[in-house]
Amino acid sequence: MTFDSRAIARSMPRPARLGVLISGGGRTLCTIHDAIAQSKLDASIELVVASRPCRGVERARERGLPAVVEPGRIPRDRLADILKDAGVDLVALAGYLQLVEIPEGFEQRIVNIHPALLPRFGGPGFYGDRVHRAVLESGSKISGCTVHLCDEQYDHGPIILQRTCPVLPADTVDTLAARVFALEKQAYVSALQLLVGPGVGHKRRPACA
């Protein structure tokens, strides 16, 4: 499957209405929301969906964002209803650990960021510290992150962009994860802006810790 980011952007309402799916602390959600507040992303967050109760739900509500918990994998029809009821145009997976069943009308409208370079370090079980541990154990000298459109396989679909960083001899899982996350914060906003097109974001409340 190929994609044309300009064609997606031309079809996207502005500001784009985002749905953000999370499973954990919500750091990437905060990154996206901060970019909107700083007029770096022409979008609004209309809904946050979590696969379990988590710190990310609290962070969303602290920022005045509507957040709901939908445990486990969401059936296709149920996800369609959730997104359409919120008026969502584009979905951003932000540390979401469930496989997404893509609803009709959301093909090439669901985006994921992965904390390694795909396709080598991806697939079922490659999430969190497991990804960075696999990179270190492989002896790779380079890591990074990948933003891609989703299909119905884990960590699979057309790549929008990648960013790279060195793997240092003294790296631990934690130090490599921190270096990659710094890249993720820039890469996800850049990729989303490619898909929503140029414009000026709406001001929102600033970052939380």
| pLDDT tens column, 114-169 | 999 999 999 999 999 999 999 999 999 999 999 999 998 999 999 999 999 999 99
In a domain, 1, yes or no: no
Residue 71: domain span = 14-196
Question: What CA–CA distance (Å, rounded) separates 207 from 27?
Answer: 10
The yes-or-no answer on residue 202 being catalytic is no
Query: Percent of the chain at pLDDT above 90?
Result: 86
CA Rg value for the chain: 16
User: How confident is the model at residue 199, as a pLDDT?
Assistant: 61
In a domain, 7, yes or no: no
In a domain, 122, yes or no: yes
Q: Rounded to the nearest 5°, which phi and psi values hold at 91?
A: -110, 130
Mean pLDDT of 60-77: 97
DSSP code, position 154: T
Instruction: Return the amino acid letter for 172.
Output: T
Q: Is the pLDDT of residue 102 over 70?
A: yes
Query: Structural domain tally of the chain?
Result: 1
> For all residues of the chain together, what is the average pLDDT?
93
In a domain, 208, yes or no: no
Q: Is the pLDDT of residue 202 over 60?
A: no
Q: 34 and 26 in contact (C-beta within 8 Å)?
A: no
In a domain, 39, yes or no: yes
Closest CA to 74 of 94, 54, 49, 55: 49
Rounded to two decimals, what is the model's pTM?
Answer: 0.91
User: How confident is the model at residue 45, as a pLDDT?
Assistant: 98
Q: Which of 114, 132, 148, 156 is catalytic?
A: 114
Closest CA to 187 of 22, 36, 30, 28: 28
In a domain, 18, yes or no: yes
33-47 core/surface letters (b: 16 or more CB in 10 A; e: else): bbbbbeebbbbbbbb
In a domain, 69, yes or no: yes
Q: Is the pLDDT of residue 209 over 90?
A: no
In a domain, 203, yes or no: no
Going 85 to 90 to 92 to 96, the CA torsion angle's sign is positive
Predicted confidence band of residue 10 (pLDDT cuts 50, 70, 90): confident
First-residue to last-residue Cα distance in the chain:
38
Question: What CA–CA distance (Å, rounded) separates 20 from 15?
Answer: 15
User: How confident is the model at residue 116, as a pLDDT?
Assistant: 97
CATH label of the domain that carries residue 171: 3.40.50.170
Residues contacting residue 174 through CB under 8 Å, at least 6 positions apart: none
